[in-house]
């Protein structure tokens, strides 16, 4: 789940199925009672109809938690990332970063760092399209060390400079679930 709307949809669906949710967060739900195997099948089917997936494997859940943390860092920052990403993830998930990195790459086919960069670039595209912030402000908001660093990374990922993207010739954005 990547948005407030997703959390609301999942919460409503579980309520329709008769479950009392204690917490609905990005990628995880806490319900009051432990569901039976039959109820888990009901939940799985209901979520699949909505385009979601019920994860039960611990490794899949951990990879999804990594993705959720990165999405929250990029799209819903509550505070600047003071530590580097590897230390932050390791502390937040209570696992060695090497393990997290290897698992993520194995399960996702992309490194954590690339996943993070792709999301940052999609956020840059969003902010450029919105037109409310300058490139300098965007660089600051997304914690780039400089506008040049942001521009270089943007060009490397998209093949365009931020100015070319903003001019609208090729300003396509990738759906977040495809990153």
pLDDT the model gives residue 39:
81
pLDDT at residue number 144:
93
Task: Give pLDDT, residue 142.
Answer: 92
Look up tokens 């009672």; give the residue. Answer: 33
pLDDT at res. 156: 96
Which regions of the chain are under pLDDT 50?
A: 1-2, 179
Give the dihedral sign, CA 129/130/132/133. negative
pLDDT at position 31 is 79
What domains does the chain contain, in order, with CATH numbers? 4-49 (no CATH), 57-179 (1.10.10.60)
Please give the pLDDT value at position 88: 92
Q: Measuring CA to CA, how many Å separate 131 from each of 70, 73, 103, 140?
A: 24, 21, 38, 15
On whether the pTM is more than 0.75, the answer is: no
């Amino acid at each position: 789940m990547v948005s407030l709307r997703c959390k609301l949809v999942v919460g409503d669906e579980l309520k329709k199925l008769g479950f009392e949710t204690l917490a609905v967060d990005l990628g995880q739900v806490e319900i009051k009672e432990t569901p039976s195997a039959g109820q888990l099948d009901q939940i799985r089917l209901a979520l699949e109809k909505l385009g979601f997936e019920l994860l039960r494997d611990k490794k899949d859940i951990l990879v999804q938690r990594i993705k959720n943390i990165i999405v929250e860092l990029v799209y819903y920052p509550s505070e600047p990332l003071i530590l580097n990403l590897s230390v932050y993830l390791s502390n937040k998930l209570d696992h060695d970063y090497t393990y997290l990195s290897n698992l993520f790459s194995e399960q996702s086919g992309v490194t954590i760092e690339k996943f993070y960069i792709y999301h940052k670039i999609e956020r840059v595209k969003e902010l450029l399209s919105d037109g409310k912030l300058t490139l300098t402000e965007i660089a600051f908001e997304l914690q780039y060390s400089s506008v040049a660093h942001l521009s270089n990374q943007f060009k490397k990922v998209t093949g365009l400079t931020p100015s070319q993207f903003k001019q609208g010739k090729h300003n396509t954005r990738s759906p977040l679930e495809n990153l």
